């Protein structure tokens, strides 16, 4: 019996203290490339980030949203989290934060007493120092808190609203739901608890693959579309009156409890990655955007979280941690500088899996072939328009392999 797969991308628009828009875009595998064609037609790129939308005409952006809503191959869910719900989440979180800080006070008092006795700071003091790291970037603390709760709440709703679990065409088929959440692990740290919840009937540990991806809108079609729509709704809220909007409220079945608090704290101070892709050297931006998705197409259970080394490989891994070698893939492009070569050698010395850009050419060419097949099915005028745009992107990417 075949496995039915649904790919879902979750992203948000807005900030705490104002209405936050949470958008979910879900597609079957055979409809996924249509998202890339929509981006190509409207914005000239396969993957669209929020900053690609700056300066574009309102009517064209709103049309992009309506086209997604009207497309039968796209399952679109729009939720609005009002300020009242945000306050509820923060209030619940604040109870545990206050308890934690009061315990930290006692640890510091004990540490001072130990120092006065000439024993130096005890271990509890250093634990307090570590946990206080979360306050280094206070806007990210409360933004990730409120929005991660929204993402958890929205994911729980997929248990009932996902078309994957409502299909009657193949009632005995196996189902797999892939959920990619923009923002990285601090927005998806709750996933293990959620898939074990007795409140869910369909989403379970054996059939759900949930990943947080930093800048996921730059690398995955569903996240890219969800991010663009969330941005547009937030920028033009007056154009949302006739859209199918659901209100996202606090759900006591999925509460901000002590475990949620503890895991959120850990997510902020300890970088965590399920599958990390690190680019070393120079790679064409359009090609780089495609590579994580190319590998994801080969194994839907893996969603790679891409990173670029900005200073050096050593400083990168000092900041984000070495982690498990099997969870990190190094992709090397043109090593045109001494630093690039040192970075590549450093990664090899840590026994990471390292592949050269040329090793991924076949995966990229398969993606190109599939996109061209989709374009070939369009009517003449649109086919000509998209072919020209895609050929330009494809040419620049293939030149990287030469």
Hey, where are the domains in the chain?
3-84+137-269, 274-402
Contact call for residues 25 and 8 (beta carbons, < 8 A) = yes
Report the chain's mean pLDDT, rounded to a whole number: 93
Q: Which of 144, 132, 135, 146 is nearest to 92 (CA)?
A: 146
Q: What is the pTM of this model?
A: 0.93
Percent over 90 (pLDDT), the chain: 80
Is domain 274-402 in CATH 3.40.50, yes or no?
yes
Contact call for residues 290 and 46 (beta carbons, < 8 A) = yes
Q: Which of 17-31, 97-111, 198-212, 343-357 has the lowest mean pLDDT?
A: 97-111
- CA separation for the pair 390, 44 (Å, rounded): 8
Q: What is the pLDDT of residue 156?
A: 97
In sequence order, the 6+-apart residues with CB closer than 8 A to the CB of 334 are: 281, 282, 283, 340, 357, 400
Q: What is the pLDDT of residue 295?
A: 97
pLDDT at 1 over 70: no
The confidence band for 167, taking pLDDT boundaries of 50, 70 and 90, is: low
pLDDT digits (tens, 9 = 90+) for 8-51: 999 999 999 999 999 999 999 999 999 999 999 999 999 999 99
3-84+137-269 and 274-402: identical CATH topology: no
Mean pLDDT, residues 345-360 taken together: 94
Q: What is the pLDDT of residue 106?
A: 83
**And the tokens for 239?**
């154009």
Please give the class, per CATH, of domain 3-84+137-269: alpha beta
């Amino acid at each position: 019996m075949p496995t039915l797969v649904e790919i879902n991308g979750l992203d948000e628009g807005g900030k705490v203290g104002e209405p936050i828009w949470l958008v979910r875009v879900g597609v079957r595998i055979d409809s996924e490339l249509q998202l890339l064609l929509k981006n190509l037609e409207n914005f000239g790129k396969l993957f669209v980030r929020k900053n690609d939308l700056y300066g574009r005409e309102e009517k064209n952006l709103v049309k992009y949203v309506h086209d997604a809503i009207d497309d039968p191959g796209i399952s679109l869910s729009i939720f609005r989290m009002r300020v009242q719900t945000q306050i509820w989440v923060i209030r619940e979180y604040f109870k545990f934060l206050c308890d934690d800080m009061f315990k930290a006070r006692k640890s510091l008092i004990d540490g001072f007493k130990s120092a006065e006795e000439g024993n130096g700071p005890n271990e509890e003091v250093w634990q307090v120092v570590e946990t206080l790291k979360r306050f280094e970037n206070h806007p990210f603390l409360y933004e990730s808190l409120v929005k991660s709760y929204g993402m958890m709440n929205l994911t729980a709703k997929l248990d009932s609203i996902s078309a994957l679990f409502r299909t009657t065409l193949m009632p005995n088929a196996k189902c797999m739901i892939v959920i990619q959440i923009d923002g990285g692990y601090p927005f998806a740290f709750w996933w293990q608890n959620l898939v074990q919840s007795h409140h869910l009937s369909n989403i379970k540990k054996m059939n759900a693959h949930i990943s947080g991806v930093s800048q996921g809108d730059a690398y995955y079609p569903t996240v890219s579309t969800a991010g663009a729509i969330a941005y547009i709704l937030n920028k033009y809220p007056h154009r949302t009156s006739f859209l199918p909007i659901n209100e996202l409220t606090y759900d006591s079945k999925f509460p901000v409890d002590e475990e949620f608090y503890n895991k959120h704290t850990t997510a902020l101070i300890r970088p965590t990655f399920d599958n990390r892709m690190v680019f070393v050297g120079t790679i064409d931006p359009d090609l780089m955007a495609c590579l994580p998705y190319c590998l994801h197409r080969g194994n839907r259970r893996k969603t790679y979280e891409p990173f670029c080394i900005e200073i050096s490989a050593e400083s990168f891994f000092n900041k984000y941690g070495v982690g498990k070698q099997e969870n990190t893939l190094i992709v090397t492009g043109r090593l045109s500088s001494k630093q690039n070569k040192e970075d590549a050698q450093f990664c090899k010395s840590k026994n990471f899996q390292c592949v050269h850009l040329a090793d991924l050419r076949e995966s990229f060419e398969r993606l190109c072939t599939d996109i061209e097949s989709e374009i070939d099915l369009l009517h003449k005028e649109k086919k000509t328009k998209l072919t020209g745009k895609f050929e330009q992107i494809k040419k620049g990417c293939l030149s990287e392999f030469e």
